[in-house]
Structure 1
Amino acid sequence: MLTGGGNGTGFSDRDLSRILASPGFANSPRLSRLLRYLVERAQAGEPNDLKESVIGVLVFDREPGFDPRADSIVRSSARQLRYKLEEYYRTAGAGDPWRVELPKGSYVPLFQQVGEGRTESPAEAASAPPATRPSWMAFGLAAAAMGIAAMAGTVAWAVRAPSSHPAERMADAAAQMDAASTEAFIRAKRLARDRTEAGLREAAGLFEQIVARYPGFAPGHAGLANALCVLIGNGLPSQPGEAVRAEQAARRAVALDPLLPEAHAALGQVLDNRWEWPEALAAFQHAAELDPSNAQPRFRMAVVLVELERFDEALSELRRAQWLDPHWRALPGAVAEVLLYQRRNQEALKEALAIRRHFPEDGLSYLLEAKARRRLGDWKGACQAWRGLRAASRGDQSTEAMAEALLLQCGGRAGEARQLLIDRAARLSHWIVAAAATELGDAELTVDSVERAVAAREPDSVCARFDPAFDFVRDHPRFRKAVAGIPAPPPKPIAAVR
């Protein structure tokens, strides 16, 4: 017998729980979440909730207005889910009396009775996970779901959906969120994702407000740690005590929700900023294991692999992250940067121009283009790219200062360019000044700034160890001494999650 959704199906909560507790699903929280949602909405007889645009918002945390034509996350996940179900019924679920299928081209599951199947022992019945059935509009950490509730003027509840891991079935509520807080959370996530200085500052402030109102909301603490870590790690101006605050927030997130991937990723960023690379990589690996379809841990793993000078592995992780989230603009920029480190300048230029086609206002693409063109000997093209960088800086102090200095250099005013960087050094990190000084070809300012950056343990200063931009000062005694203060990569390779 093959039936569609509806309350009359014989497929029970215990059938669903058995699937979710199997190894293939226990290790894939996102596919488990998708399967649970599809089954519950189908059995509730609500076909309107089984549209691709709705699934993207409620299951995959996309924002209201999600366009499936521009983002294939729902289709690709459904395809993976079909494979997982087929594998389950070939192995652990071969004796199940009822089966759930997801037909191609549809998000409405079908339930098929295949026989009496196996008989569950009393011990199995007693040890089986409880068959909780949370309402997806009332429960769940989906930021977009909370946003829908906020727009409707209702109260949204923010709790972690029950885990599919057999040892951890989480169904207790974490916090009650009002409409204003849910809107703030969605805005903060979006701002942090864009990774501009102004956006990160605003995001950190919003996350602070959220965790002050709801101290038990783990994603809020993880978001705060992430925003602060990106500010610190990218050489952007930071305030005293922000590194400590980031660590407190990350550890609080992990303590509140040990199964939240973003919490472990945030802790990994804290450790990465402290140059504790093996520990950081382990944290990102754990985050990736908790949610294999989440691009963020893959991206962060790639950053650590670069710092360990394992560039090919870093590129592999970045390509995986791009497959998982093709619309995250930070990823192609990271690919181009790794190519520059590998001296693959023509390929880096191609990547930078590709970023421009997809994200015309992205300032990073101009910076990467300028670096690639300069290394290829195209000084005129580099100057044009720096003009684009200044236009795209959007008030970002660090980008603005670098662009203005480099344009002065293009005009043959090297002395003024140097003085501009010195005058603004108090508002910039030492590493930003060092990076700009390399583009000016100013050896003395480069070495001075690297010395200060390493002494302050600015996270990005590790790049001086391998970035070709510093080749012209590589033999400078003070530069060699400064770089010697950066920990060397551990001799034994650390395997990344596959």
Structure 2
Amino acid sequence: WDAAEDAFRRAMKRQPSYWLAHDHYAFVLAAQRQFDAALAEVRRGQALEPLSLVVHHHVAWVCLLARRYDDAIAECRSAIDMDPTFPMAHLWMGVSLEQKGLYDEAIASVDEAVKFMGGASIGAGAAAHAYAVSGQVEEARRRLAELQQARFARYVEPYGIALVCAGLGDREDALRWLEQAYQEHSFWLAFWAKVDPRLDVLRDDIRFQDLLRRLGLLQQARFARYVEPYGIALVCAGLGDREDALRWLEQAYQEHSFWLAFWAKVDPRLDVLRDDIRFQDLLRRLGLGSN
């Protein structure tokens, strides 16, 4: 990741108007949760190439990963206005709508994407995931079986299959397919695994964390020596990464952290989390909730 960042910086220094460098540099930043920087870079690329459908869908992509779903949807609609058959705009709009809980609209969008993509597996996986989380389990499993069967005839992206399994709550199968994606050097795994909201159900699993470590996307020190998870949670809270902050606080709870027990209820650095029901539940389990 460091080498990639260095290469992009050199390219942009040499040719500041090269829109593709700004655009692709944003992928590297977003994959590492540097969302503000990623959005700044992809917007620079968009300013240099404002009529590009590719740039529009990349802006939507970064907004989606940053969980700015309304912004992602707006970008997708702009791209669809330019070309109603552009599949990636329909895809990211569908995923964003799904994350907002608008399942009927989400399914319509991702199915439209699959139609225009000619059944490409990453789109088909996203569609099946949408069916799974909307409660249409039978349809999701039917589509999952089709994807698995298709692997015998053509290349099918294992990351897409993993998404469906995660949506169905099949943790073991989801992790197995993510491992397969790792073995196949999946682009989608590398750039999405750390930030894809559809994989949030796996983030507390040590096997998923180890996968991120092997991808170079997780704090390395904890695999070499003991590092207090409460401290990592503080950094995440300061960065505005609520999900990661809560995950590391939960890890601190599992490790019986002294710092968590004596600081969580009163630490001003965690005030940004106090309105979250998961944080309140953590305090309750610590015996620190309101009576």
Letter matched to residue 105 of structure 2: G
**Radius of gyration: which is bigger?**
1
Alignment partner for residue 428 of structure 1, among 139, 156, 159? 156
CA drift of 1:459 comes to 3.3
- The residue that corresponds to 1:280 in the other structure is 4
Which runs of structure 2 are paired with 1:97-496 in the superposition (5 Å)? 277-393=1-117, 395=118, 397-399=120-122, 401-402=124-125, 405=128, 410=136, 412-426=138-152, 427-439=155-167, 442-462=170-190, 463-488=192-217
Change over 3 Å in CA distance of 1:297–1:362 after alignment to 2: same
Whole-angstrom distance in 2 between the partners of 1:324 and 1:289: 15
Whole-angstrom distance in 2 between the partners of 1:446 and 1:336: 26
CA drift of 1:379 comes to 1.0
The unaligned stretches of length 5 or more in structure 1 are: 1-276, 492-498
Computed over aligned residues only, the root mean square deviation of the Cα atoms, in angstroms, reads: 2.6
Change over 3 Å in CA distance of 1:303–1:374 after alignment to 2: same
Change over 3 Å in CA distance of 1:440–1:348 after alignment to 2: farther
Whole-angstrom distance in 2 between the partners of 1:337 and 1:466: 11
Whole-angstrom distance in 2 between the partners of 1:441 and 1:352: 29
- The residue that corresponds to 2:281 in the other structure is none
CA drift of 1:339 comes to 1.7
Deviations 1:385-407 (A, max 9, x none): 122113211x3532564377468
Match of 1:465, SS state, is coil
Deviations 1:50-79 (A, max 9, x none): xxxxxxxxxxxxxxxxxxxxxxxxxxxxxx
Structure richer in helix, relative to its length:
2
Change over 3 Å in CA distance of 1:397–1:283 after alignment to 2: same
Whole-angstrom distance in 1 between the partners of 2:169 and 2:78: 28
CA drift of 1:456 comes to 3.6
Whole-angstrom distance in 2 between the partners of 1:407 and 1:489: 28
Whole-angstrom distance in 2 between the partners of 1:490 and 1:299: 26
Whole-angstrom distance in 2 between the partners of 1:489 and 1:471: 15
Whole-angstrom distance in 2 between the partners of 1:407 and 1:336: 18
Change over 3 Å in CA distance of 1:355–1:435 after alignment to 2: farther
Whole-angstrom distance in 2 between the partners of 1:352 and 1:485: 33
Whole-angstrom distance in 1 between the partners of 2:59 and 2:33: 14
Q: TM-score under structure 2 normalisation?
A: 0.65
Letter matched to residue 347 of structure 1: D
Letter matched to residue 335 of structure 1: V
Letter matched to residue 419 of structure 1: A
Contact preservation (8 Å) 2:8, 2:25 = yes
Contact preservation (8 Å) 1:371, 1:382 = yes
Letter matched to residue 181 of structure 2: A
Change over 3 Å in CA distance of 1:442–1:353 after alignment to 2: farther
Letter matched to residue 76 of structure 2: A
Letter matched to residue 149 of structure 2: D
Whole-angstrom distance in 1 between the partners of 2:53 and 2:61: 13
Whole-angstrom distance in 2 between the partners of 1:486 and 1:430: 16
Match of 2:151, SS state, is helix
Change over 3 Å in CA distance of 1:489–1:296 after alignment to 2: farther
- The residue that corresponds to 2:243 in the other structure is none
Deviations 1:235-272 (A, max 9, x none): xxxxxxxxxxxxxxxxxxxxxxxxxxxxxxxxxxxxxx
Change over 3 Å in CA distance of 1:303–1:399 after alignment to 2: closer
Contact preservation (8 Å) 1:352, 1:365 = yes
Match of 1:361, SS state, is coil
Count of residues in correspondence between the two structures: 214
Deviations 1:111-155 (A, max 9, x none): xxxxxxxxxxxxxxxxxxxxxxxxxxxxxxxxxxxxxxxxxxxxx
The unaligned stretches of length 5 or more in structure 2 are: 221-291
Whole-angstrom distance in 1 between the partners of 2:48 and 2:171: 41
Contact preservation (8 Å) 1:425, 1:433 = no
